[in-house]
Structure 1
Amino acid sequence: MKKLSLAVVAALALSACATEVPTAVKPITAPSGWRAGGDAPLADSLPGSVSEGWWTAFDDPEMDVVVAEALEGNFDLRAAGARVQQAQAVLRSQASNLMPQVNASGGGSYRTYLDDRASGRSFDAGIGINYTVDLWGGLAAAERAAAADLAATEQDRAATALDLSLAVAQLHLQHRALLDRLAIATDSLETAERLVGLVRSRYDAGAVSRLDLSLTETNFYNERASVESLRQSLAELENSLSLLLGKPPAEIYFAHYRGSIGVLDVATPPTVLSMPASVLARRPDIQSAELRLASAEADIEAARAALLPSLTIGVDGRMVAETIAGAFDPTRLALAIPVALAQAVFDGGRRQANIDIAVAQREQLLQNYGQAVLGALVDVEDALVAIRALERREASERLALDSAEQSFRLSEVQYGAGRTDSLTLLTAQQTLLRARTSVIDTRSLRLQAIAALYAALGYTPPEVAV
């Protein structure tokens, strides 16, 4: 496989965000293809139009609705938006340090004497302008660090939205599968009830033993218990969806799912892959890690500048006016231009320690960045492994389902004709139930794996208002 250093990957990724990432990153192996990709084609984008979100590739209108509701109402995403606003304020604060600081003051007094001298009033007003000259670029570096932090926070918010959309889409697919399983279990319960009636008729006629009747009744009660268990799971899953939507469970009503398409009818999006470097450039968590590195570099520059002398230039003007016995004294104007050059002589090593802290933080972020890159590759590989395995598993289970349906039909006919026993009939029914359930579960897992692949490739949701 072709090897690319992480620094090269970073350079490709940074072409979109125009931030400088340190190149002292330990190289890793970035494959030109995917281990679990097989002969799948390589491309840089999803097929078709998914401009409204990657989940639209499933062609499931109800999924579109529930994901949109989550992106609008989820509290974690709203909190991430608030963090973006905080970072914006920090950037404005840092930018203000590069501007002159203007202060105005004013006051007045009334003066009276115990002797015959006339009383009088005095007024004064002043304005001061101070400007710290950024001789060594420390203030500009602090502003760049704040700008990189803001951009990283925005990417963190995008990562939160991506994770949220994936969680909602996967729960939605699980919800569809549970509804399908509930329908299957309800149908199986009706079949079990019909079998009880059939066996009871034969028992009353003396054709079968009490054991046969007990077995079919036990099967019926087990089927009824399974239906209740599925209803409980369905309600709990809907509660989980409510949490992601940011609404109380009592305000969520999922009746519109009833009678809608089943999980077997959901479209299967193609698993088109992207080159690894494209994955790194697109994923918001990778972009955030890159931007944090850029911020750390700027922090080091600012900490080093703090070791050097600082120069402050000011303009201090003051105007004073007096009235004595009603007579106005001409205004006096004083103007001063102070210039201060300061250099700390001894601080107990505090500023050098600040540099060491910034360097250590950069080293930590370097390692976090490498871990994020490897994590991105693993996420894609895991999704691909699951998709390929579940695709083969679903094909086998569909064949098993065809056989189970045929076996149950034959055993029911043979039991009615008295050519087989009730145990064979019940076994065939349970085999059919398991086969139908397995196909539903595997189909749901396969679709969830495809959703995980799209999220791992970094197809972020559209922007949501903060």
Structure 2
Amino acid sequence: MKLRNLVPAVVLFGLAGCMVGPDYHTPEAASAEAWRHNDGWQPVPEQPWLAQGRWWEAFEDATLTALVDQATGANQTLAQAEARYRGAEAALRQAGAAGRPTVDGTVATTRAGTAGEGAAWDSRASLAVRWMPDLWGQVRRQVEAGTAQRDASAAELAGARLAVQLAVADAYVQLRSLDQEQALLEASLAAYAKSVSLTERQYQAGVAARSDVIQAQTQRQSLQTQVHDLARRRAAQEAALAVLLGEVPSAFSLAAAEQLPSLPSLPSLPPSLPAVLIARRPDVVAAERQVAAANARIGVAQAAWLPNLTLNASGALVGERIEDLFNAPARVWSLGPSLAQTLFDGGLRRAQKETALADYDAQVAGYRQAVLEGLRDVETALAEVALLRRKADDQAALVTLAEDNERVVNRRYASGLVSFIEVASAQTTTLDARRSALALERDQLLASLTLAAALGGGWNLDDPVVQHITAPSAALMERHKTK
């Protein structure tokens, strides 16, 4: 008799272990065996920033490090992404609550009567327990989908954090590049002033024409106007950087630097690196987690075809007055299961399942596209870095030639062998060559930032993805703990 009574319980708990729907497997996606433009890279010694995911420390600039750290804790766009992450965590807890029992308690008192008869008080205190066992794994699939959504939100938060860090580094490089150009223009202005002075002396001596003096003065004044343009561009970059740091632009300033600190070479990338690094990019992680969530929702849709078992238990105390409930003679209780099954829904469940399948296919395609775009970004960034490096070498040779030519022309002009037109032309050529060299240095730094973004913000294979990519900002999380 006892064994027969245990059979339903054994069957119930056995069914509770079932889960309908497909188990998740990461979809296959494109990969690369080697980078086409990875030639010429030199390895660098092991650095502490590799294991921490602090890729910006590779640039060895204390000011840049301080700015990135400030933006990571104060940027408002990042704060929005962190709030969405906390919302995804709350949604996950909501999904898990559906599989737990619910307990409802009520206490009520009413006075009722009929016409011609007296009225009476009726008081009642009741307690009801309701539990729907997760027989087919519907709740567990919902939790699985919620977990994947939470992870996708964490990856999106990491992506937002990386985007802010890159924007800060980009703005900082632009600022320092403008500082370098400003220093170059000031040095050129000093050289042009000497040319004006020399031309005026030669004019007074009757060696040069008045037109040479005017041309020298015009060239110097033209360069002077460009100084103001640089100041305007720097002010705009400084204001943009202030917003990234969460500061009021009018209250923020970054002192100008005479030259940009030298930057180390980026680490070499072995042929086996691409697929591993692409898999940890925040956008790829988010896309893959969306696939996992869509896969779990297929199970939720399939479970809707199966009956739901609900276990109900309730008890109530009934009396005239609330204070007499615990001494009330009437005690009511009920206990029993109920089985519910939708018999006809006009095709709703079939449509929901087809929607879930279509969403899964769409998410798989999105994941594969994200991987392809990641491979493209890395290959493009590597090509840009390699080609800019070669172009910078050629530009350095051009600067040397232009400077040599300017020295020769200046000596010839001082000897009265050539007109100032040749001097102006030589000076312009030298200035343009130097400015192009500065622009190439800036572009190489920006290309390095692009490569960091393409690789998900780091190059270390041993850095766990959960810490390197999906971990929320500690500063932002700590801020909300204190609220």
**TM-score interval (norm. to shorter):** 0.7 to 0.9
Which residue number in structure 1 is paired with residue 224 of structure 2?
Answer: 224
**CA distance 1:90–1:216, shift in 2 (3 Å):** same
Q: Secondary structure at the match of 1:315?
A: strand
**What is the deviation of 1:87?**
0.4
Which residue number in structure 1 is paired with residue 128 of structure 2?
Answer: 128
Which residue number in structure 2 is paired with residue 158 of structure 1?
Answer: 158
**What is the deviation of 1:196?**
1.7
Residue type of the partner of 1:106?
V
More displaced 10-residue stretch of structure 1: 431-440 or 280-289:
280-289
Residue type of the partner of 2:413?
Y
Preserved CA contact (<8 Å) 2:24 2:296? no
**CA distance 1:364–1:418, shift in 2 (3 Å):** same
Preserved CA contact (<8 Å) 1:322 1:331? no
Q: Does 1:331 align with 2:329?
A: yes
Q: Does 1:445 align with 2:453?
A: no
Which residue number in structure 1 is paired with residue 266 of structure 2?
Answer: 270
Preserved CA contact (<8 Å) 1:180 1:440? yes
Q: Secondary structure at the match of 1:313?
A: strand
Q: Distance in 2 between matches of 1:88 and 1:103?
A: 26
**What is the deviation of 1:40?**
4.2
Deviations 1:44-80 (A, max 9, x none): x984111261010111111101111211121111110
Preserved CA contact (<8 Å) 2:123 2:325? no
**What is the deviation of 1:234?**
0.9
Q: Distance in 1 between matches of 2:293 and 2:263?
A: 43
**CA distance 1:84–1:429, shift in 2 (3 Å):** same
**CA distance 1:239–1:330, shift in 2 (3 Å):** closer
Preserved CA contact (<8 Å) 1:22 1:297? no
Which residue number in structure 1 is paired with residue 433 of structure 2?
Answer: 435
Residue type of the partner of 2:299?
E
Q: Distance in 1 between matches of 2:321 and 2:440?
A: 94
**What is the deviation of 1:420?**
2.1
The structure 1 residue matched to 2:403, chosen from 402, 405, 408, is: 405
Q: Secondary structure at the match of 1:124?
A: strand
Return structure 1 stretches of 4+ with deviation > 6 angstroms. Answer: 111-117, 326-329
Q: Does 1:279 align with 2:292?
A: no
Structure 1: give runs of 5+ residues left out of the alignment. 1-19
Which residue number in structure 1 is paired with residue 147 of structure 2?
Answer: 147
Q: Does 1:456 align with 2:454?
A: yes
Q: TM-score, normalised by structure 2?
A: 0.84
Q: Distance in 1 between matches of 2:78 and 2:116?
A: 74
**What is the deviation of 1:335?**
0.9
Which residue number in structure 2 is paired with residue 359 of structure 1?
Answer: 357
Q: Does 1:197 align with 2:164?
A: no
More displaced 10-residue stretch of structure 1: 91-100 or 193-202:
193-202
Q: Distance in 2 between matches of 1:361 and 1:321?
A: 56
Q: Does 1:387 align with 2:422?
A: no
Preserved CA contact (<8 Å) 1:316 1:338? no
**CA distance 1:329–1:234, shift in 2 (3 Å):** closer
Q: Secondary structure at the match of 2:320?
A: strand
**CA distance 1:251–1:169, shift in 2 (3 Å):** same
**What is the deviation of 1:41?**
7.1
Which residue number in structure 1 is paired with residue 70 of structure 2?
Answer: 69
Which residue number in structure 2 is paired with residue 237 of structure 1?
Answer: 237
**What is the deviation of 1:198?**
1.7
**What is the deviation of 1:293?**
0.7
**What is the deviation of 1:378?**
1.0
Q: Distance in 2 between matches of 1:323 and 1:223?
A: 96
**CA distance 1:457–1:113, shift in 2 (3 Å):** closer
**CA distance 1:87–1:266, shift in 2 (3 Å):** same
Q: Distance in 1 between matches of 2:213 and 2:27?
A: 76
Q: Secondary structure at the match of 1:410?
A: helix
Residue type of the partner of 1:123?
S
Q: Does 1:321 align with 2:324?
A: no
Preserved CA contact (<8 Å) 1:46 1:272? no
More displaced 10-residue stretch of structure 1: 407-416 or 156-165:
407-416
Q: Secondary structure at the match of 2:319?
A: strand
More displaced 10-residue stretch of structure 1: 384-393 or 452-461:
452-461
**What is the deviation of 1:329?**
6.4
Q: Secondary structure at the match of 2:83?
A: helix
Q: Distance in 2 between matches of 1:305 and 1:332?
A: 41
Which residue number in structure 2 is paired with residue 54 of structure 1?
Answer: 55
Which residue number in structure 2 is paired with residue 97 of structure 1?
Answer: 98
More displaced 10-residue stretch of structure 1: 358-367 or 278-287:
278-287
**CA distance 1:237–1:39, shift in 2 (3 Å):** closer
Residue type of the partner of 1:171?
A
Structure 1 vs Structure 2: percent identity of aligned residues? 30
More displaced 10-residue stretch of structure 1: 96-105 or 414-423:
414-423
Q: Distance in 1 between matches of 2:117 and 2:47?
A: 97
Q: Distance in 1 between matches of 2:162 and 2:334?
A: 58
Q: Secondary structure at the match of 2:100?
A: coil
Q: Secondary structure at the match of 2:295?
A: helix
Preserved CA contact (<8 Å) 1:155 1:284? yes
**What is the deviation of 1:23?**
5.4
Deviations 1:289-308 (A, max 9, x none): 11111100000100111122
**CA distance 1:327–1:170, shift in 2 (3 Å):** closer
Q: Distance in 2 between matches of 1:184 and 1:106?
A: 83
**CA distance 1:24–1:201, shift in 2 (3 Å):** closer
Q: Distance in 2 between matches of 1:40 and 1:21?
A: 39
Q: Secondary structure at the match of 2:48?
A: coil
Deviations 1:142-174 (A, max 9, x none): 111011100110011001111221221122112
The number of equivalent residue pairs is 438
**What is the deviation of 1:21?**
4.7
More displaced 10-residue stretch of structure 1: 202-211 or 366-375:
202-211
Residue type of the partner of 1:73?
A
More displaced 10-residue stretch of structure 1: 220-229 or 279-288:
279-288
Deviations 1:390-418 (A, max 9, x none): 11111111122222222222322322222
Which residue number in structure 2 is paired with residue 296 of structure 1?
Answer: 294
The structure 2 residue matched to 1:347, chosen from 345, 348, 353, is: 345
Structure 2: give runs of 5+ residues left out of the alignment. 1-22, 459-467, 478-483
**CA distance 1:31–1:208, shift in 2 (3 Å):** same
Q: Secondary structure at the match of 1:38?
A: coil
Q: Secondary structure at the match of 2:331?
A: strand
**What is the deviation of 1:327?**
13
Preserved CA contact (<8 Å) 2:91 2:146? yes
**What is the deviation of 1:322?**
3.3
Q: Secondary structure at the match of 2:146?
A: helix
**CA distance 1:328–1:177, shift in 2 (3 Å):** closer
**CA distance 1:112–1:376, shift in 2 (3 Å):** closer
**What is the deviation of 1:442?**
0.6
Preserved CA contact (<8 Å) 1:323 1:329? no
Q: Secondary structure at the match of 2:169?
A: helix
